[in-house]
Structure 1
Amino acid sequence: MSDAQDEPENRLRKELPEEVPATAPEAADEAPEAKPEETPEETPRLTGRQRLVQGLWPPRVSRAQLIVAVLLFGLGFGLAVQVASNSDSDSALRGARQEDLVRILDELDDRTQRLEDEKQGLQKQRDELENSSDQAEEARKQTVEKEKQLGILAGTVAAQGPGITMTIDDTKGTVQADMLLDAVQELRAAGAEAIQVNGVRVVASTYLSDSGKSVSVDGNKINAPYRFKVIGKPEDLEPALNIPGGVVQTLEKEQATVTVDRSNKIVVDALRAAKRPDYARSSSQ
């Protein structure tokens, strides 16, 4: 009978799950292990050069800065061109012969002397007016003399005196108006008092322009060969044209032939009609 009782009990135990042995819980009072405090990563320190690069790149250009940059570029370009032109002139003088340099210095001395002589002449006229017993007659004489001088400069009267004749033979047709204008300006700077080019009187208001393969002087067309008749001191005029990098050398680079002849008597007889100004009047009126 005991076997009969044991059988349902064993069957019941088989159906029930096995008891899980109780385990001792871990000490709840133990504090959880403290995690190390996370610190933010330290940003690397930048050097002065790196900060400068970050400040300049990428560039942030405003409209005003762009305008200033363009103006500075234009100014720099102009200065560079000026320095280059001066360097060319300096290199021409640097490569010049000693006798050419001496001649240039002599020409500068002559120009200074001419200005000094003109100053003394004006002072003499002033003294004569102040000391003359008949100031009215003396003033009239000086007025007549001054009128003749101004007539020569204005081209209203003929003139003669020592000077040079310069002939430019342009068989290639390469000579342009600006080259002839350079010759006129160089002659004036050397003390030319009257100039005539192919029968056209050169005055203060004279202009030259290109006209096809020829040149126009004050609207009068002239053709090669171009002949300059110039009154002035020959010893000043001829060296001024032959300085290194000057008129003669420039024209010869254009395959033109230039001849300069001195003379004790040059006649400049091309005349200009006296023109009354439309608006300008003497301030003494």
Structure 2
Amino acid sequence: MSDAKELPGAQPVPTPPDHRDNRLRRELPPEVPGRAPEEAVGAGEDPQPEPTGRQRLVQGLWPPRFTRNQLVVALLLFGLGFGLAVQVASTSDSSSALRGARQEDLVRILDELDDRTQRLEDEKQGLEKQRQELENSSDQAEEARKQTLEKERQLGVLAGTVAAQGPGITMTIEDTKGTVQADMLLDAIQELRAAGAEAIQVNGVRVVANTYLTDSGKNVDVDGNKIEAPYRFKVIGKPQDLEPALNIPGGVVQTLEKEQATVSIERSDKIVVDALRAAEQPDYARSSAR
């Protein structure tokens, strides 16, 4: 039979769907409708908030933009800060020795500083008095001659060309261990000068402004003159100022005692410093006074 017959009540068989089309639909993402730039901020969206003052400050400072003048100022400020830090550190180190001092020691140090200040004030008043006498004197030439002679005598004492006597102290340093060195004796001389010593003699050698001390084995040379222990200092000055200056905490006496040396100090109303130095004539310097 050539013609197909349909069975009664039969339904047409649907064509099976193409599975490849479904797989393609699942793999492709859905299209997102685009929008124009001018529609980015719609009627229902809020605009970006304005930056705050702090944010503007941060944006202005970072990243940093330096000019040459600003760099120079920054370097100068850094150098100033470094100098201040070093000064504070050195001050802390110098004051650390006084932190453990007793109250009476601190009072003695303050008294010594007051005495030094008073000596400088007395010297200033003396110079002003001399100036006033010279200005008010009827015979200014004679007054000038007297002041010149007095000044010459004072300079002779300081230069060691004339003998001197007056109140002061005698300090004796016993060094049986041979541990005392030239720098320790130099510290003693400097401390005595700071306390107002006007004339100093060590074992028969006059101490002047250009005196130097060097080590020579277990002995010490003063201006090329060898001296041996015990070291005896004859000092003219105010005893009430000289002795406390040597006994301050961490001072000359304590330093020498740490080196197992023995130090004794005696006050006296009359100390004779008779070691002399020859007056030296300078080779090149000449007085400019006319």
Verify same fold: TM over 0.5: yes
Which position in structure 2 is the counterpart of 1:112? 117
Shift of 1:92: 2.5
Measured after TM superposition, the shift of residue 35 of structure 1 is 9.2
Query: Residue type matched to 1:223 in 2?
Result: E
CA deviations 1:211-245 (Å, max 9, x no partner) are: 11110000111011000000000000000000000
| Paired position in structure 1 for 2:265 | 260
- The equivalent of 2:202 in structure 1 is 197
> SS of 1:251's equivalent?
helix
One-letter code of the match for 1:201? Answer: R
Shift of 1:93: 1.3
- What is the rounded CA distance, in whole Å, between the counterparts of 2:164 and 2:220 in structure 1? 25
Which position in structure 2 is the counterpart of 1:224? 229
* Partner SS for 1:152: helix
Q: Determine the C-alpha separation between the residues in 2 that align with 1:88 and 1:174.
A: 26
| 2:216 pairs with one of 208, 211, 217 | 211
Q: Look up the match of 2:12.
A: none
Q: Please report how far the alpha carbon of residue 89 of structure 1 lies from its aligned counterpart in structure 2 after TM superposition.
A: 3.8
Within the candidate set 95, 98, 106, 2:103 is matched to 98
Of 148, 151, 163, the residue aligned with 1:158 is 163
2-structure distance, mates of 1:88, 1:229: 33
Contact persistence 1:162–1:231 (CA under 8 A): yes
Cα-to-partner distance string for 1:46-104 (whole Å, 9 max, x where unaligned): xxxxxxxxxxxxxxxxxxxxxxxxxx9xx99x949x93x65454233121111111111
Of residues 141, 145, 149, the one that matches 2:146 is 141
More off after superposition, 186-195 vs 274-283: 274-283
Could you tell me whether the CA contact under 8 Å between 1:177 and 1:208 is conserved in 2? yes
Contact 1:200 1:270 in 2 (8 A): yes
**What is residue 253 of structure 2 aligned with on the other side?**
248
Cα-Cα RMSD: 2.8
Amino acid at match of 2:231: Y
Instruction: Give matches, 1:1-285, under 5 Å.
Output: 79=86, 83=89, 86-87=91-92, 89-285=94-290
CA distance in 1, matches of 2:141, 2:288: 21
Percentage identity across paired residues of the two chains: 84
* TM, length-normalised to structure 2: 0.70
* Inter-partner Cα distance in structure 1 for 2:268 and 2:125: 28
Any gaps of 5 or more consecutive residues in structure 2? 1-23, 30-78
- Corresponding position of 2:5: none
Change (3 A) 1:135 1:86: same
Q: Distance in 1 between matches of 2:100 and 2:253?
A: 17
| 1:258, distance to aligned residue in structure 2 (A) | 0.3
Aligned length: 224
**In structure 2, do the counterparts of structure 1 residues 283 and 91 end up closer, same or farther at CA, with 3 Å as the change threshold?**
same
Deviations 1:162-211 (A, max 9, x none): 00000000011110100000000000000000000000000000000111
Secondary structure, counterpart of 2:172 in structure 1: strand
Amino acid at match of 1:221: K
More moved, 96-105 vs 197-206? 96-105
For residues 216 and 180 of structure 2, the distance between their equivalents in structure 1, rounded to whole angstroms, comes to 11
**Hey, what's the Cα distance between the residues in 2 that align with 1:145 and 1:79?**
46
SS in 2 for 1:157: coil
Q: Which amino acid aligns with 2:195?
A: A
1:89–1:245 contact (8 Å) kept in structure 2? no
Which runs of structure 1 show a deviation greater than 6 angstroms over 4 or more consecutive aligned residues? Answer: 32-36
Shift of residue 281, structure 1, vs aligned partner:
1.7
Question: What amino acid is the match of 2:189?
Answer: V
TM-score (norm 1): 0.71
Matched residue type, 1:171: T
Cα displacement string for residues 9-38 of structure 1 (whole angstroms, at most 9, x for unaligned residues): xxxxxxxxxxxxxxxxxxxxxxx99999xx
Unaligned stretches of 5+ in structure 1? Answer: 1-31, 37-71
